[in-house]
Amino acid sequence: MTGPQLDHLVYAVPDLAAGVAAFTERTGVRPVPGGSHPGGTANHLVRFGPTAYLEIIGPDPEASARPRAFGLENLTAPRLAAWAVRPDDIDKSVRQARERGHDPGDVRPLSRRTPAGALLEWRLTRREDPAAVRPVPFLIDWGGTPHPAASADLPLVSLISFSAVHTEPDALRRDLAALDLRLDVSPGPEPALRAVIDTPLGPVTLR
């Protein structure tokens, strides 16, 4: 991948506790609780390094309504659902992408509380998208908030490769190019994301 920096991959699971347990069993690495979001989701994290991480996200066990984010409302099996990149200037990147024919969505604020009670705040692009898998990334800007992956408390795994499958590879490549991104894209019957990570139990593929 080239262009803006990879920020994180989003691995959506229908049940957070079960999803974290399954990931731990497959990898030998136990993700650390990240916190709860206002929209009814919660997450656990592992890091790829000091500036990128894997987010395992699912319905917050403490929330009453099932969230819609990342297709969680109807999700029945874990899925690599989305990814985020971090440009130098998020507002400029949005303007340029729109000029090039791709609308990343409006930039909106979001936040979550860590288990220790600290408030993390950031800005990201959001658009209405019913797709189960989003092969075009959203943009994120952490502002003055410390990046989650900078925490030494997060267990470390290595991202070996990251790629996408799409029914129209050239169309996806055009949208990625509008964001100054290049990614390995291959044709397939439906959109999908694929990440291979190196773990204590050997390479593990998430898709």
pLDDT in tens, 39-67: 899 999 999 999 999 999 999 998 887 88
**Poorest-pLDDT segment among 46-50, 105-109, 112-116, 190-194:** 112-116
Q: Which of 17-31, 82-96, 125-139, 157-171 has the lowest mean pLDDT?
A: 125-139
- Global pTM? 0.96
Contact present, 104 and 137 (Cβ < 8 Å)? no
